[in-house]
Structure 1
Amino acid sequence: MANFRVHVLGAAIPSALAAGLAIAGGLVTPQVGGVCFGLGVLGGMLPDIDADNSVPTRIIFGALAVVAAVVVASALHVDTAPGLVALAAVAAFVAIRVGLRGFTAWLCVHRGLVHSLPFAALVGAIVVCVAAQAFHLGPTQAWLAGLFLTGGFLVHLALDELFSVDLLGARMKRSFGTALKLGSRRQLLGTVMLYAGVIALVRFAPPVDPLVRDVTSKRTRAAIAATLARLR
C-alpha cells in the first residue's frame, strides 16, 4: 500500500487545484476554500483510522481531541467555574483521544469496511449535513465541503489499489481489491448499515441542485477563465 507521505501529497495536490478553481469561480469564499482544501487532505488520511498505530490515526484523533476540548471549554466558560471548565475540557480530550480511538480500534479491521466506497460516501454526507446545519453554509458550499472530503478519501483508496499492483513482477499483491470495494460479504450487516446511513443523510442534506447549477453555469466558467487569464 502507499505510505503516509504519498497519501497526503496524493490528496493535497488535486485538493489544492480544485479549491483554487472553486475560489476563482466564485463558488466558495477563500476561507471556505481553505477549509475545503483541508478536508481534502483529511480525506486522504481518513481511511487509515482502521489501523491502530498509523500516523493518520494519531493525527486525526489527536486533532479531534483538541477540538472537542476547545468546544467544551467555549460552551461552558461563561456560566461555569474555571476549575470545572478545565475538568470538562480534559474529560472531553480523554474521551476522544482514548475512548473513541479505543472503540474505533476494537470495531474496525484494517482494510475492512472503512476502506470502501460507501464509507467514503458516508463521511462526505456527514460533512455536508454538518456544514449546512451547524455552520449554516449554503447548499453549494456545503456539498463542496463534503465532496472534497470524499474526493480525498477516494484518492487514498485508489492509491492503495495502485500500490497493490507489482508492475515489475507483473502480478497482483494479496491486498489488491481490498480498498475500492462496494462492501464486504463478511460484514453484510455493516455494509447494509453504511448504505442506509448514506441514503438517510443525503435525504437530510440540502438539495444538490444549486451545486449542479452553480458548477455548470456560464458565469462560473467565465470567472475561472478570467482568473486564469490574469495569471498568464
Structure 2
Amino acid sequence: MPNYDAHVLSGIITYPLAVALAGILADYAGIPFKLTSMAMVLGYALYVLGADLPDMDHPNALIHRGTKPIVAVLLGSAVYMWAAERIHLSQPWMSQTAAWGVGAVGAVVGWYGFTAVMPRHRGVVHSLLFATIYGFLAFLLGPYGLHISTGEGLFLGFSAFSGYTLHLILDGSVKLI
C-alpha cells in the first residue's frame, strides 16, 4: 500500500486532472463550478490534504499525529471559553488561570479521545461516505466560512472529495461505507 509520500505526491501531481474534470463538468454537465484563482488555490490544499486524510484512522500515520494535537487544542480552547464565562475568582488572572486549567483537562480528554473514537484502520474512514462528508464540509467552508461564492464552494467540495477518493483508489479499496 502507498505510504504518506506516495499519497501526498499523488495529490500534488494529479490536481490538474481534477481541475480539468471540473471544467468539463461545468461546460458539459452544467455544474456551476466557479474556477477562480482563490477557489483553485484553496481547492489544491483541500485536494492534497484529502489525498492523505483517510489515514487519520491509523495511530502511527503522520496525518493522525498531526490532527490529534489540533483536535486537542480546539477542544481545550472551547472548554476554556465555556469555563471563562462561569469561573469568577477574586482576581481576573486567577479566573483566567482556573479556566485554562479546566481547558487543559478538556484538551487532554480530546487528546486521548481522538484515538479512542477512531475506527480501525481502513474501516469506515476509508470510504466514499467519509469522502462525501469531507467534500460537504469543504463546500460549507466556502460560502459560510470564507464568504466566497457558492460556485467556488462547490469547487472546494469537489476538490476535497476528489483528493480523498484518490487516496482510496491508490489503496485499492474504494467502498461505500
Q: 2:126 aligns with which of 101, 104, 115?
A: 115
Deviates more, 1:151-160 or 1:134-143: 134-143
Corresponding residue of 2:31: none
Give the secondary-structure state (helix, strand or coil) at the position aligned to 1:110. Answer: coil
Q: 1:99 aligns with which of 113, 116, 119?
A: 113
Q: 2:176 aligns with which of 182, 186, 211?
A: 182
Q: 1:35 aligns with which of 17, 42, 50?
A: 42
Does the 8 A contact of 1:16 with 1:37 survive in 2? no
Distance 1:182 1:124 in 2: 15
Corresponding residue of 1:193: none
Give the secondary-structure state (helix, strand or coil) at the position aligned to 2:52. Answer: helix
Give the secondary-structure state (helix, strand or coil) at the position aligned to 1:146. Answer: helix
The amino acid across from 2:35 in the alignment is L
Corresponding residue of 2:11: 11
Deviation at 1:121, TM superposition (A): 1.3
Corresponding residue of 2:169: 158
Q: Percent identity?
A: 28
Distance 1:159 1:118 in 2: 17
Deviation at 1:65, TM superposition (A): 3.1
Unaligned segments of structure 2, at least 5 residues: 23-33, 88-94
Distance 2:110 2:13 in 1: 30
Runs of 4+ in 1 over 6 A off after TM superposition: none
RMSD: 3.4
Deviation at 1:69, TM superposition (A): 4.9
Q: 1:128 aligns with which of 130, 139, 162?
A: 139
Corresponding residue of 1:195: none
Deviation at 1:49, TM superposition (A): 2.0
Distance 1:16 1:46 in 2: 19
TM-score by structure 1 length? Answer: 0.55
Distance 1:14 1:85 in 2: 46
1:70-104 deviation line (CA, Å, top 9, x unaligned): 6777x67x978432453354345334322122211
Q: Cα 1:63–1:8, aligned 2, differ >3 Å: closer, same or farther? A: farther
Structure of greater relative contact order (alpha carbons < 8 Å, 6+ residues apart): 2
Distance 2:112 2:49 in 1: 20
Task: Indicate whether 1:148 and 2:159 are aligned.
Answer: yes
Does the 8 A contact of 1:28 with 1:141 survive in 2? yes
Does the 8 A contact of 1:128 with 1:145 survive in 2? yes
Q: Cα 1:133–1:48, aligned 2, differ >3 Å: closer, same or farther? A: same
